[in-house]
Amino acid sequence: MSDSSSGVRVSPAIDRRAFLQGAGGVAAGTLAASKLGLAAAAAEVPMFESKIDFRNPVWNRDTYARLQGNLDLGKEKIGWYNGVVIGVTPGEAARPLVRFDGFSVCRLIAIPDGFRKLLREVVFYRDLRSGQLLEQWTNPWTGEVVPVVNVANDPFNYNITLYYPEPPSFGGKNEAKPPRIPFLLPWRDMGEKLLLTTDIHLFYPNALQPDKWPRESSGPMVQASEMFRYVIDRKAVEDPTRTSVTYNGTWNRITPWLPWMLLGTKPGHCLYVGDMGASDSLDVVPKDILAYCEKNLPKFLSAPTEDYGPSLSSIENFARQQRPAPIK
């Protein structure tokens, strides 16, 4: 279908997770590029399209790459996000559960037909009232005090090319294979601002199967959606000297109960409602999170300098790093 205001073809949903592992694996050219190392990558600024042309896959690729990273290859870019996690259950009003706050650090490397984004990301949970970083959380339905497991994904890499990639594989759990479609994003021209919408809706086997993870698992399948809304300065996009373009916007996610909440198959789900943006500096990251990472997770203050994997979501990482809670 088409966007009636601009004539832009609205292509299938895509977001940062939709690029995961590109077309299901890393091309030989990607590996070769990554082995060149950071010094070689930083030695080049690729030619890129800055003149707005919504129907041109090259312009879409280059503009999305400038939003997600920096085409001065080797330079890092910071993404940030914060908001509230809401519990949605049948028969009662939605209930705020915790606040969340996080950031990512990435860099781009050149690959055939485009760029590969190399990224690490963390998400921390905060108390609703005090804003303090949580180590424990009291489940409002059961009264149980449970340890909080923050998100620390390393890596979270994906390709940005002239075609929409396959959806995330999540370690081979998701086997969906959509057709190959030119990379034309659903832009909306608002004069001084450009608006961009990218959504993805997934349904795939759960890495936390109920027979092994009876208290952590929401069931045999994961149903998850992510909805991104970007607000971008038009002049920045049109500037041929700007290798990185910042933005502000919103990020919403519908996801099963977080496994550390120990809600199992209780009817309902979590809804993340948050703001997001991008910067070329870590100054946008809250000081308490920076201090925590400096002490406990120092590698997350910088992006990967070479390509490696697999790229997994927090659910797959939880399954690999945690143990099932005792049955009560």
Tell me the pLDDT tens digit for each residue of 269-299: 999 999 999 999 999 999 999 999 999 999 9
Average confidence (pLDDT) over 239-267: 98
Higher pLDDT pick, 1 / 284: 284
| Distant-in-sequence, close-in-space partners of 125: CB < 8 Å, separation ≥ 6 | 85, 98, 99, 100, 133, 134, 137, 148, 150
Q: Could you tell me if residue 68 is inside a domain?
A: yes
pLDDT class of 118 with cuts at 50, 70, 90: very high
Q: Could you tell me if residue 9 is inside a domain?
A: no
**Other CB atoms within 10 A of residue 308 CB:** 13
Average confidence (pLDDT) over 134-157: 97
How far apart, in whole angstroms, are the C-alpha atoms of residue 310 and residue 83? Answer: 28
Domain hosting 191: range is 28-321
CB 251 within 8 A of CB 272: yes
How far apart, in whole angstroms, are the C-alpha atoms of residue 89 and residue 168? Answer: 27
- How many C-alpha atoms does 86 have within 13 Å on its Cβ side? 14
* pLDDT higher than threshold 50 for residue 25: no
* pLDDT higher than threshold 60 for residue 32: no
pLDDT at residue 272, rounded to an integer? 98
* pLDDT higher than threshold 90 for residue 21: no
pLDDT class of 24 with cuts at 50, 70, 90: very low
Average confidence (pLDDT) over 122-130: 98
pLDDT class of 77 with cuts at 50, 70, 90: very high
- The answer to which of 43-47, 73-77, 323-327 has the lowest mean pLDDT is 43-47
Average confidence (pLDDT) over 224-238: 98
Question: Residue 155, preceding bond cis, omega within 30 degrees?
Answer: yes
pLDDT class of 220 with cuts at 50, 70, 90: very high
Q: Could you tell me if residue 12 is inside a domain?
A: no
pLDDT digits (tens, 9 = 90+) for 150-198: 999 999 999 999 998 766 655 555 566 667 899 999 999 999 999 999 9
* pLDDT higher than threshold 60 for residue 13: no
Q: Could you tell me if residue 1 is inside a domain?
A: no
| Distant-in-sequence, close-in-space partners of 211: CB < 8 Å, separation ≥ 6 | none
Region for 320 from its dihedrals, namely left if φ exceeds 0, alpha if ψ lies in -120 to 50, beta otherwise: alpha
Q: Could you tell me if residue 306 is inside a domain?
A: yes
pLDDT class of 212 with cuts at 50, 70, 90: very high
pLDDT at residue 189, rounded to an integer? 98
* pLDDT higher than threshold 60 for residue 326: yes
Q: Could you tell me if residue 71 is inside a domain?
A: yes
How far apart, in whole angstroms, are the C-alpha atoms of residue 258 and residue 114? Answer: 35
Nearest alpha carbon to residue 168 among 17, 7, 323: 17
pLDDT class of 70 with cuts at 50, 70, 90: very high
Q: Could you tell me if residue 15 is inside a domain?
A: no
Q: Tell me, what DSSP letter sits at residue 20? A: B
- The answer to which of 90-94, 108-112, 169-173, 210-214 has the lowest mean pLDDT is 169-173
Q: Tell me, what DSSP letter sits at residue 292? A: H
The beta strand positions in the chain, using DSSP E, are 77-88, 95-111, 114-126, 136-138, 145-147, 151-153, 158-161, 187-189, 193-205, 221-233, 248-255, 269-279
Q: How many domains does the chain have?
A: 1
Q: Could you tell me if residue 5 is inside a domain?
A: no
- CA separation, residue 254 to residues 88, 159, 224, 257, 309 (Å): 10, 24, 5, 9, 25
